A and B are shown apart, each in its own frame.
Chain A
Amino acid sequence: MKADSLIEENDQLRKQLTPENKQYYEELMTYIRANSTFKSDLDVEQILLDILNDILEAQSNNQTAQSYFGKNPKESADDILKSLPRNLTETLKFALSIALGYIVVFMIPSLTTPGIKTDLGNLIIMGIVSFILANIILWLVGQTIYQRKVVKFVIDAIAVLLFAAVVAGSIFLKTPLSFETNGTVGIILIAIVFLIMTYIYIGIFKHRMPWTIIYVVLTIDAIIGVLSRIPVIGRMITDPVIPKSTLLWILIPGCIIAALIGGVGTYYWLTKHDEN
């Protein structure tokens, strides 16, 4: 995807900016990216790279980014966004990838144990909701760039609440469109979903972190799901080898620790990569 190579070039060139110019440009860049969900990625990255190259040239002539581009970057950014055409295919691609990604990710855990119903209605609804939420959060991020501290905090709080609402919805929303996935049907279904997931992981996310962690976890889920549907092995897995109480003592702290590591690890990785 050409936009990716433009983004990489952008990342490399930004290193040449002075700290003052870097902050100016990165605010501009993040603001424009956050407000362009319905525009073509290629168009957006092209203009961002053009501006970056020009700012770098101005810098080499001892002109700061602000004195070159202007004291009101938000205004120019808004004009740029207004002039970029909306792109229907891009929007649909984005919507589908989020909805599909959501469905795939949340379908595998429910497929792991035979007997648990797979709620297709829930998945579809929450998939669409996730797309809407992703847009809202992106827009919120865009709004925080040129705002004061207080507003930033309020917006962050809203984002967290929305995210919690989505998680709650995914757990508690039940629709009649559920079905069981036992036996061979289950194995085939898992295989299909696994293939889709692998394609998304390699093709769209280009086996980068943190998607790798998610992919590994889901693969393990898929394997357990398949194994538990094979009669002999299935019984072996689902019949407790250790008494339940001991197992709980191991599982619950284990899950909490895993969640903490996953959450803190992801947060650390995100802040390391987010120069803002």
Chain B
Amino acid sequence: MAKQDLSSQMLKGILQGCLLMLISDEPMYGYSISQALTQFGFQDVPKGTVYPLLINMEKKGLITGKMQPSKEGPKRKYYYITANGVQEKKQFINQWHTLSSSVNSLIHKRSEDDESR
């Protein structure tokens, strides 16, 4: 159970960073965000997890919501990134670079070791 919690916490943190990147490119609403996530390979992530993330991000002041007419016509809640959100996004990208290069070099080293055996 704890193992599941850890990886779902990690996923939520990563998803939040991804949402920040998507929203900073252009304002988006729930479904368009989900479609973009699917496009980038997150199709196995249940989109129900996006909503509590959006609410939390709005609470933390990283994004703000505004009702406006959508492509289809009806008004939807579009999310815009805030100055705090941009800062958080940059921090996330840096942290991800550091983390992923460490993990990648570890994997690389191990596969080198495996080959030389």
Contacts and interface: CB of A to CB of B under 8 A. Distances in A.
Interface string B46-61: 1111011001100100
B51 A70 contact: no
Contact of A72 (B29, B46, B59, B76): B46
- Name which of A58, A83, A85 has the most chain B CB atoms within 10 A of its CB: A83
A223 to B, nearest CB: 48
Contact of B46 (A71, A80, A82, A83): A71
B49 A79 contact: yes
A69 B76 CA distance: 18
A82 B48 contact: no
B48 A70 contact: yes
Nearest to A82: B52
Contact of B52 (A58, A73, A80): A80
Contacts of A77: 48
A71 B59 CA distance: 27
A70 B52 contact: no
Nearest to A43: B55
Q: Most B CB atoms within 10 A — which of A51, A54, A58, A70? A: A54
A156 interface: no
A54 B49 contact: no
Contact of A79 (B30, B34, B52, B59): B52
Contact of A57 (B48, B51, B55, B72): B72
Given A83-B55, A84-B55, A76 B49 contact: yes
Interface size class of B (residues with CB under 8 A): 10 to 19
B96 interface: no
A50 interface: yes
Identify whether the interface residues of A are mostly helix, strand, loop, or mixed.
helix
Contacts of B51: 47, 50-51, 76, 79-80
Given A70-B46, A71-B46, A85 B59 contact: yes
B55 A54 contact: no
Contacts of A54: 29-31, 34, 47
Contacts of A70: 46-49
Given A76-B52, A83-B56, A69 B31 contact: no
A53 B55 contact: no
Interface in A46-61: 46-47, 50-51, 53-54, 57-58
Interface in A79-127: 79-80, 82-85
B74 interface: yes
Nearest to B74: A53
A58 B72 CA distance: 13
A50 B52 CA distance: 12
Contacts of A75: 48
B76 A73 contact: no
A73 B52 CA distance: 12
A68 interface: yes
Nearest to A9: B74
B49 A50 contact: no
Given A53-B31, A54-B30, A68-B34, A73 B48 contact: yes
21 contacts: A50-B29, A50-B51, A50-B77, A53-B76, A57-B72, A68-B47, A69-B46, A69-B47, A70-B46, A72-B48, A76-B46, A76-B48, A76-B49, A76-B51, A76-B52, A77-B48, A79-B52, A80-B55, A82-B52, A83-B52, A83-B59
Given A71-B46, A83-B55, 7 more contacts: A50-B76, A51-B51, A53-B74, A54-B29, A54-B34, A57-B72, A69-B47
Closest 4 CB pairs of A and B: A70-B46, A76-B48, A79-B52, A54-B31
